[in-house]
Amino acid sequence: MNRVKVAVIGPGNIGIDLMFKITRLSSVLELVAMVGIDDASDGLARARRLGIPTTARGVEGLIELDGFDDIDIVFDATSAAAHRSNAARLAAYGKRLVDLTPAAIGPFVVPAVNLEQRRHADNVNLVTCGGQATIPIIAAISRTVPTPYAEIVASIASRSAGPGTRANIDEFTETTARAIEEVGGAARGKAIIVLNPAEPPLIMRDTVLALVEAADEAALDRMRRSVEAMVADVAAYVPGYRLKQQVQIVPVPDDQPITTLTGGIAATHQVSVFLEVEGAAYYLPAYAGNLDIMTSAALRVGEGMAVAAQRAEVAR
């Protein structure tokens, strides 16, 4: 079966890494366009060396490229504001969009949690790097025990946070918190991002804290097993994704004031999960796990959408 043709908008670090993942790893997708706004950019230069058609005229240049009509999926690795503009411009052409920015125009997708339900959406949003790392854990917890509150802290190397990441800090916290609830299943969610200036740069670390209501030890055991299974599911497409230590569970003391977090809902235990995400280093350094998990998730989602489209074509 022919590979599905795709384009990448945004030849920065994320776009370049995604380009290498598509060209080296995918037997389903064929990258036929790299789109930017600076003809001298490293991303466009690398694409040209790989024989991939390029344009430095943004989405307008993409529309004018030979072969544009054959492109089925467009990955957008720009910024939240740019994606809103790009999505509006491409809406008339029937392209399916995979949004790596926090714009959140379309439904959230975290591959290990809900890709199957979102394969046919026209514009899917990958939340944020912190969301991709932590929401699977929250979903694993909430599918076994009620979870009135969950918060995440994503700590990334300052050197791996480019202009796009820094410009989208507000969108990061708002989008991730919303996805914690909508995809993760927590009743209330909160997200924090830390840009760690340590040298040498540290590998991405993520902390999940959840307040849950568990009836007995058996329910807690099911939750532990659910988290461990989810870590394996994510590691299947993000090899550097792992637990740093066993899941930590402690009872909530009777006098601990948690109602401001849970909105008055009861909680019996506090669950803490500590994660590490090491990058695969196809293009980005190993410490840039925050970027690697986004491009790995994008590849997984794009391939899932492509396979669904191919099956639908065969069925017709």
Integer Cα distance of 151 and 247 in angstroms? 15
Is 129 in the active site? Answer: yes
Integer Cα distance of 210 and 212 in angstroms? 6
Helix (H) or strand (E) holding 16: helix 13-25
Q: Is there a contact between 219 and 142 (Cβ–Cβ < 8 Å)?
A: no
Integer Cα distance of 110 and 280 in angstroms? 19
Q: For residue 244, give the nearest of 256, 233, 231 by alpha carbon.
A: 231
Integer Cα distance of 25 and 4 in angstroms? 14
Residue 304's identity, in one-letter code, is: G
Crossing angle of helices 129-142 and 289-315, rounded to 10°: 70
Taking the chain, what is the end-to-end CA distance rounded to the nearest angstrom? 15
Q: Which of 98, 129, 154, 249 is catalytic?
A: 129
Q: Is the dihedral of CA 126, 128, 130, 134 positive or negative?
A: negative
Q: Is there a contact between 139 and 113 (Cβ–Cβ < 8 Å)?
A: yes
Backbone angles phi, psi at 252, to 5 degrees: -80, 120
> Which active-site residues does the annotation give?
129
